[in-house]
Amino acid sequence: MTVQDGKDVTTDSRVRVFAGTDAEATGVVVDDFGEAAGFAVEVGGNHIADPARRYAVLLDDGGLVFADTADLAAE
């Protein structure tokens, strides 16, 4: 998948998450949930869950974040 800086990102790619913000961090993509990740869940008009994020990123500090394509920049 191509991210905001025009580079391709796949599992095991090094990335910057939330680049240019106070939350910016670096890490490695550990999972790509694909295009199906972006759907909210509603049952009978009741909101159950927000849309999932496409990527799981293991941060260099040991944390784990979930991010969308627009949240990533390749390193």
For the stretch 11-32, pLDDT in tens is 999 999 998 999 999 999 999 9
**What is the arrangement of strands in the sheet containing 72-74, beginning at the earlier edge strand?**
64-67, 55-59, 25-32, 14-17, 72-74
**Residue 5 has what pLDDT?**
60
d(CA 45, CA 30): 34
| pTM recorded for the entire structure | 0.77
For the stretch 35-68, pLDDT in tens is 776 678 899 989 888 777 789 999 999 999 999 8
